[in-house]
Structure 1
Amino acid sequence: MLSQSPAPGDETRGATSLAAPDVLVTVRGGMLRGRREDGLTVLRGVRYATAARFCPPVPEQPWPGVRDAIEHGGVSPQPQARPGSAGGRPEIGVQSEDCLNLTIVTPAADGARRPVIVWLHGGSYRSGAGSWDRYRTDGLAREGDVVVVSVTSRLGALGYLAAPGVSPGNLGLLDQIEALRWVRDNAADLGGDPDNVTLVGQSSGAHSIACLLGVAAARPLFRRVVLQSPPLGLGLGGAADTGRLGERFLARLGGDPLTASLDQVLAAQQAAERDVSGRGFTPAYGPVAGADPLPDTDGWLAACRAGAGDLDVVLGTTRREMAYFLAGGPLSQRVPLLGRAVENSLISVFTWTAFTRPTQRFARLLAAAGARVFVYGIDGAASTSPYRAGHCSDLPWLLGDEAAWAQVPMLAGQLWDDVHEHGRPLRSAWLSFAAGGAAALTAHGWTPYRGRRAAVHRFGAGRGR
């Protein structure tokens, strides 16, 4: 857990203050009642679409009267975090299949045409929600005078099962596209600029963005992208693997997938995961090549190249991505010195093969096709933690507050004031990029990436890294 800061700031937990005044915001579908909190307008649980189980999303229809947007909406049904996770055990929230909703934070719904940032969370396509406290965006919205929209969509089997006659696959990606359409149609009513939308995602959220770069229908919905720690070594799912997973899910379910309870669906989801991938780190569920809206792998790469000419891209990885999954494991516990050495070697190898190398390859592909590309690396803060500069270590630099991250093992021994300060250059870069794109980063000393190691912009300079 975090060490106690000597002088805690005045940031508050995600709970809404009882004294926060209501505010009415009119969007295309009708009127929403949100809250005015610490100088920001916050709308929670804003439904952008509905979807029957294993069916594509349907855009939300206009409504009469005033709809409350004060409480968080449902989150996609999901399992608890694995015990001992470096990321701790975050709150999940109320699980519901009615989970296609947004959390929106804006300085004011005043027609000012601010930059818009759309946040896609990570979680291996099986966990997470845009409404989680650790992904709170009020600090980012306030610091950069931007509108931030966090997306909650379907996960796991409900979002990515591919089984003929049951589910076509890629429903979670279709949800994300529908959310982006909602943002385009309503950004101006929220004080944002619909022509200046930046997608920012981490882990599977960044992988989703890479997928969307190869979907022609999605490209007009955003202008810039930031991919934090995209696990591009995963590639796209193929018919053989996803077909076997679908078969195992249906066999484990042993009943009608359309009428099974959520508990039954989750149990079958987890059992099928174990059947096809054991207890490894590769997500079992995820985007499938050749299923709507994704073309096959060759078509996806061609579409990425075709849409690169008017695209600004920032992407990068942490120095020790796999430490999140491997650090402090059984070997280093049993044989401390030798075990840690072997562990660190494995962390380096798997970080390079699963994250760093494929990310730099994707950067070169986009740059060669005409995109303005910038690559970064996270070295992390000075720390003796085995998780230093690991996967997700950049998240508290960008989002959330001390209370949300207080019990997270990967931050053990760090003061929140230091975490917040280490994140300042990262937040400044992302906010500058959202406002001014490639030109803004170049003005701040970044060098466009064309395969040169010297062009990688580095954050942090942790000792013992």
Structure 2
Amino acid sequence: MITSTVGPDGSADDEPWTATPVRVAGGVLRARRERGLTVLRGVRYATAARFAEPVPEEPWTGERDALADVGVPPQPASRPTSGLGVITVGPLTEDCLRLTVATPAADDRRRPVLVFLHGGGYRSGGVAWGRYDPRRLAREGDAVVVSVGSRIGALGWLRLPGLAPGNLGLLDQLTALRWIRDNAAALGGDPDRITLVGHSSGAHAVACLIGVPAARGLFHRAIAQSPPLGLGLGSPAASARAAAAFVRRLGTDPRDATVAEIVAAQERTERDLAVRTLGGLVPAFMPVAGAEPLPAPDEWRDTAREGAKDLQVVVGTAERELAYFFRDTPLATVPGLQQASTARVFTRPAQRFAELLASGGARVHTYRVGAPGPSLPLRGAHCGELPWLFGTEADWAGAPILNGRSWAEVTADGAPMRAAWLRFAATGDPGWPADPARPHRF
């Protein structure tokens, strides 16, 4: 094994690490052993040709490096006025069906497994973002934590008959869940205690997957953080409008266009459709009901209710979700708009979803992240709990969502949520009663 103080990207590392082999179903991966964790980065779980379904990764011989991230899915530049601040996304790559895994050890301990689906409006993010780093949860909870990368934007969600079937991002996530189930024990985890965690569009995807028959048995518990369920599922008509606008803006065969051309056409399409999508709040490219693996619109509620049987679920929202989206816009000054929009897009639909799952037999716990006062303008806003759970101080440096609080304060603020999520993954009980009508307060 190799001891190093140089990071896998060639930069100076803040701690020594050793390279250690981890055997999974396909072969041997070369991981980092650091501060009591085994960390695997850039683990490919599948490959996919452009606009084609994912193909599970083939077995290999010898050792394959899992020491470094390889980049993020093609996406636009980050919005500088967002509560997350400016994010350097790194290299863009279509080879993005990758995982980051943090485990206390690749042994036979059978620890709880948490699988994280990131947000980003189905158009941004990726496991190479440090702000989704899973090491803190793995270290604090003696748990295996996996962050899942999948296709996003037009490359993941375009539905265009004869070219793109739609819902490829959801098929990617299903393929990742199968890989995790099949390899959980090899990574020191319990394949019978897998908790699917999603934030924002990732939480929306969790809701979708609960209603997908093919996902049953791939996870046993679910946490949906700030799911924008008021946006509903994409309709065939809306997906057709987005596809037509995208092809018109691209001006060439999507199969042959460069990544830069795809991203530029996607951004222009989003602007074209802004009026129809509540100023861009509804993604132009998103899961479409009636396209595999999602049931038709009139069937999804029934399949979600059926999928809820025997699940344990946590569903919650923040008090002022829309403060994140309205920040530095004229909408922030419209009296009552933030509260009404938060209720319409997040709070009320999440409550109805919790009740739907409970009616199907799930044990459902709900929560609300509070907003204590004007001195913390983004407390209780969308994304506010992400630094409580993921990433390091360096990853979050300068992000407005921290509300000017020190990293020690942020860490302390998030301790109750981290403890609840880890307890829930281990036992199915986050620490408060299962009652959809009585949310726990963070």
Of 377, 380, 386, the match for 1:395: 386
Matched, 1:76 2:67: no
Matched, 1:27 2:24: yes
Structure 1: distance between partners of 2:162 and 2:213? 26
Deviation at 1:381, TM superposition (A): 5.7
Matched, 1:162 2:159: yes
Instruction: Identify the residue that residue 211 of structure 2 maps to in structure 1.
Output: 214
Instruction: Identify the residue that residue 269 of structure 1 maps to in structure 2.
Output: 266
Instruction: Identify the residue that residue 87 of structure 2 maps to in structure 1.
Output: 90
Q: Are the structure 2 counterparts of residues 383 and 31 from structure 1 closer, same or farther at C-alpha, using a change threshold of 3 Å?
A: farther
Task: Indicate the percent of aligned positions where both proteins have the same amino acid.
Answer: 56
CA deviations 1:3-34 (Å, max 9, x no partner) are: xxxxxxxxx99975573110100000000001
Deviation at 1:277, TM superposition (A): 2.0
Q: Secondary structure at the match of 2:184?
A: helix
Instruction: Identify the residue that residue 239 of structure 2 maps to in structure 1.
Output: 242
Q: Secondary structure at the match of 2:343?
A: helix
Q: Secondary structure at the match of 2:342?
A: helix
CA deviations 1:41-81 (Å, max 9, x no partner) are: 00000000000000000000000110000010231100011
Deviation at 1:427, TM superposition (A): 0.5
Contact 2:22–2:30 (CA under 8 A) maintained in structure 1: yes
Matches within 5 A, 1:286-435: 286-330=286-330, 339=333, 342-343=334-335, 345-380=336-371, 384-435=375-426
CA deviations 1:61-118 (Å, max 9, x no partner) are: 0001100000102311000112311111223122111110000000000111000000
Instruction: Identify the residue that residue 201 of structure 2 maps to in structure 1.
Output: 204
Q: Could you say what the CA RMSD is over the residues aligned between the two structures, in angstroms?
A: 1.7
Contact 1:13–1:404 (CA under 8 A) maintained in structure 2: no
Structure 1: distance between partners of 2:376 and 2:280? 23
Q: Are the structure 2 counterparts of residues 301 and 266 from structure 1 closer, same or farther at C-alpha, using a change threshold of 3 Å?
A: same
Q: Secondary structure at the match of 1:220?
A: coil
Opposite residue 311 of structure 1, the aligned amino acid is L
Structure 2: distance between partners of 1:85 and 1:251? 29
CA deviations 1:249-276 (Å, max 9, x no partner) are: 1111111111110111111111111111
Structure 1: distance between partners of 2:331 and 2:22? 55
Structure 1: distance between partners of 2:212 and 2:219? 12
Contact 2:29–2:66 (CA under 8 A) maintained in structure 1: yes
Of 174, 178, 197, the match for 2:175: 178
Contact 1:245–1:284 (CA under 8 A) maintained in structure 2: yes
Q: Are the structure 2 counterparts of residues 139 and 382 from structure 1 closer, same or farther at C-alpha, using a change threshold of 3 Å?
A: farther
Instruction: Identify the residue that residue 36 of structure 2 maps to in structure 1.
Output: 39
Contact 1:380–1:393 (CA under 8 A) maintained in structure 2: no
Q: Secondary structure at the match of 2:416?
A: helix
Contact 1:119–1:130 (CA under 8 A) maintained in structure 2: no
What's the TM-score once normalised by structure 1's chain length? Answer: 0.90
Matches within 5 A, 1:416-455: 416-437=407-428, 440-441=429-430, 444=431, 446-450=432-436, 452=437, 455=438
Q: Are the structure 2 counterparts of residues 432 and 201 from structure 1 closer, same or farther at C-alpha, using a change threshold of 3 Å?
A: same
Structure 1: distance between partners of 2:211 and 2:367? 22
Number of aligned positions between the proteins: 431
| Unpaired runs of at least 5, structure 2 | 1-6
Structure 2: distance between partners of 1:290 and 1:99? 25
The 10-residue stretch of structure 1 (402-411 or 50-59) with the greater mean CA deviation from structure 2:
402-411
Structure 2: distance between partners of 1:150 and 1:138? 10
Contact 1:328–1:386 (CA under 8 A) maintained in structure 2: no
Opposite residue 312 of structure 1, the aligned amino acid is Q
Contact 1:13–1:133 (CA under 8 A) maintained in structure 2: no
Structure 2: distance between partners of 1:85 and 1:190? 36
Q: Are the structure 2 counterparts of residues 381 and 149 from structure 1 closer, same or farther at C-alpha, using a change threshold of 3 Å?
A: farther
Instruction: Identify the residue that residue 48 of structure 1 maps to in structure 2.
Output: 45
Deviation at 1:364, TM superposition (A): 0.6
Q: Secondary structure at the match of 2:69?
A: coil
Deviation at 1:409, TM superposition (A): 1.4
Instruction: Identify the residue that residue 152 of structure 1 maps to in structure 2.
Output: 149
The 10-residue stretch of structure 1 (279-288 or 167-176) with the greater mean CA deviation from structure 2:
279-288
Structure 2: distance between partners of 1:155 and 1:32? 26
| Greater relative contact order (Cα < 8 A, sep 6+) | 1
Structure 2: distance between partners of 1:83 and 1:131? 19
